[in-house]
């Protein structure tokens, strides 16, 4: 049994899984295959519009405007959708589109527009996926360069990767030492970089951040802060805050799902049971708070008059729960429960949240980018990506990009 870091071990609980997930859901795999086919058809319809450009993060009236790959954190989700479509269909059109888009990711590295913790999102689903699928060393090189930029954001004293702002710029001083729960999904880039180069430094930074995240962002009950700040000189904790949740002490559902998936992936890369147990604790809290249709409210602690759903959080949870089930022993009762929960959620998304038979250019309705800023009830490009990844996981053999 791998040794558990003591600081994280203390946060693990035996919180149970809701009983409804102990029995297999009545999910028709044929319908899920049909939903995947419908999603691929939509990707195909969008291919010319977004061939070398990208959908905006969130739609307007369920239609994405096109944007260039010069800033932001979401462009790779469209490239990831093109790679998935290529894998599912074998149609070279999708590969050509993804490779054309990859040229913009290479230019972005050259331009220096990479001062963000979201390099894992940006370069895992574009360059790492591209290298896995094609073997092209240009994509390997781009992904390693992105990993180098990500390690530059690491603060040694608190042991974390800074989220927002330029960590060297005086005007961004307030952001120094701030980590956010989303960062757990950026760590696979670093784990992959260590495997690709043989340099353990990348993985060491990723594990250190994961431990610090476990100490400060994860609460004792299994809920999460959105952001948490530490002193970069002494490493001392300062406190938790939110930017997209309801309030500092609430639980933003999308952040919870980022953490579930991120820790399950950390367990995969490190073979450490500790990270898998953390993912399970986070998953149990998430499942205990779900609505009847398996799609969460945007924040579990928001007041009743802010009853806003987030289908993108549900889509992320499908992939995180499936990966968590994959990491647990087959005989573990939780394995079946997490897989059941993933399938129930996926069926709900395909049945009740699909844009099928509409004029939308997205795949899922009721995505909530940032309700605190009035941005909800739309398609979100990351929700579309994780929805399709979830459908692929449920219906096909797939080697993940993360």
d(CA 352, CA 186): 30
The arithmetic mean of pLDDT across residues 169-173, rounded, is 69
d(CA 162, CA 172): 11
Token pair for 95:
């590969």
The highest-level CATH class for domain 12-46+254-402 is mainly alpha
d(CA 234, CA 44): 52
- The predicted pLDDT at position 165 comes to 84
Characterize the bridge pairing of strands 237-241 and 54-55: unpaired
d(CA 387, CA 11): 30
Token pair for 102:
């990859």
- The predicted pLDDT at position 12 comes to 30
Question: Are residues 32 and 394 in contact, defined by beta-carbon separation less than 8 angstroms?
Answer: yes
Question: Are residues 219 and 278 in contact, defined by beta-carbon separation less than 8 angstroms?
Answer: no
What DSSP designation does 126 have? I
Percent of the chain with pLDDT over 70: 96
Please, which residues have CB within 8 angstroms of residue 260's CB and are 6 or more apart in sequence?
A: 279, 282, 283, 286, 316, 317, 320, 321, 324
- Is the pLDDT assigned to residue 2 strictly greater than 70? no
d(CA 1, CA 150): 31
- The predicted pLDDT at position 170 comes to 54
d(CA 365, CA 61): 10
In the chain, where are the structural domains located? 12-46+254-402, 61-152, 155-241
- The predicted pLDDT at position 113 comes to 83
Token pair for 110:
């050259």
| 79-134 tens-digit pLDDT | 999 999 999 999 999 999 999 999 999 999 999 888 899 999 999 999 999 999 99
The arithmetic mean of pLDDT across residues 380-394, rounded, is 98
Quick one: pLDDT band at residue 18, thresholds 50, 70, 90?
Answer: confident
The arithmetic mean of pLDDT across residues 218-246, rounded, is 96
Alpha helices in 187-247 (DSSP H): 187-197, 201-216
Quick one: pLDDT band at residue 182, thresholds 50, 70, 90?
Answer: very high
Single out the residue of 346, 260, 242, 256 nearest to residue 297, CA to CA. Answer: 256
- The predicted pLDDT at position 121 comes to 98
- The predicted pLDDT at position 111 comes to 93
Average pLDDT over the chain, rounded to an integer: 93
Token pair for 101:
């888009």
Quick one: pLDDT band at residue 10, thresholds 50, 70, 90?
Answer: very low
| 42-92 tens-digit pLDDT | 999 999 999 999 999 999 999 999 999 999 999 999 999 999 999 999 999
Neighbours of 159 (CB within 10 A): 19
Neighbours of 397 (CB within 10 A): 6
Give the active site residues. 118, 182
Characterize the bridge pairing of strands 66-67 and 154-155: unpaired
Q: What burial class does residue 306 get, using C-beta atoms within 10 Å of its C-beta: 0-12 exposed, 13-18 middle, 19+ buried?
A: middle
Strands (E) across 29-126 are located at 54-55, 66-67
Please, which residues have CB within 8 angstroms of residue 26's CB and are 6 or more apart in sequence?
A: none
- The predicted pLDDT at position 134 comes to 97
Q: Mind giving me the DSSP string for 251-319?
A: -BHHHHHHHHHHHHHHHHHH--HHHHHHHHHHHHHHHHT--TTS--BSBTTS-GGG--B-HHHHHHHHH
Give the three-class secondary structure for 42: helix
Give the three-class secondary structure for 4: coil
The alpha carbon of 55 is separated from its chain's Cα centroid by a whole number of angstroms, namely: 18
CA distances, 118 to each of 78, 151, 262 (Å): 15, 12, 13
């Amino acid at each position: 049994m791998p040794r558990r870091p003591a600081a994280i071990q203390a946060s693990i609980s035996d919180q149970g899984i809701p009983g409804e997930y102990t029995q297999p859901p009545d999910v028709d795999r044929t319908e899920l295959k049909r939903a995947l086919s419908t999603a691929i058809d939509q990707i195909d319809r969008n291919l010319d519009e977004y061939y070398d450009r990208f959908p905006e993060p969130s739609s307007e009236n369920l239609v994405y405007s096109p944007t260039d790959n010069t800033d932001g954190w979401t462009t790779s989700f469209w490239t990831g959708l093109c790679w998935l479509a290529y894998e599912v269909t074998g149609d070279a059109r999708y590969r050509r589109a993804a490779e054309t888009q990859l040229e913009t990711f290479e230019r972005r590295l050259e331009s220096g527009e990479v001062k963000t913790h979201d390099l894992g999102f940006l370069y895992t689903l574009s360059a790492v996926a591209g290298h896995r699928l094609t073997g092209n060393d240009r994509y390997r090189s781009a992904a390693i360069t992105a990993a180098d930029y990500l390690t530059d954001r690491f603060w040694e004293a608190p042991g974390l990767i800074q989220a927002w702002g330029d960590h060297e710029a005086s005007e961004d001083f307030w952001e120094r030492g701030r980590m956010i729960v989303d960062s757990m999904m950026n760590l696979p880039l670093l784990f992959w970089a260590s495997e690709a180069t043989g340099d353990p430094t990348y993985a060491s930074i990723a594990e250190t951040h994961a431990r610090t995240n476990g100490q400060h962002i994860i609460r004792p009950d299994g809920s999460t802060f959105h952001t948490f700040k530490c002193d970069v000189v002494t490493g001392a904790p300062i406190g938790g805050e939110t930017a997209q949740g309801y309030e500092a002490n609430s639980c933003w559902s999308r952040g919870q799902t980022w953490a579930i998936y991120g820790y399950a992936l950390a367990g995969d890369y490190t073979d450490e049971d500790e990270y898998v147990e953390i993912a399970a604790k986070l998953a149990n809290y998430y499942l205990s708070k779900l609505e009847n249709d398996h799609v969460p409210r945007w924040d579990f602690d928001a007041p009743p008059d802010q009853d806003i759903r987030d289908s993108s959080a549900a889509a992320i949870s499908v992939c995180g729960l499936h990966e968590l089930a994959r990491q647990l022993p087959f005989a573990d009762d939780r394995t079946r429960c997490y897989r059941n929960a993933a399938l129930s959620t996926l069926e709900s998304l395909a049945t009740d949240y699909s844009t099928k038979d509409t004029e939308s250019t997205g795949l899922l309705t009721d995505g909530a980018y940032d309700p605190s800023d009035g941005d909800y009830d739309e398609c979100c490009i990351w929700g579309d990506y994780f929805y399709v990844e979830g459908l692929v996981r449920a219906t096909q053999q797939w080697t993940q990009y993360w």
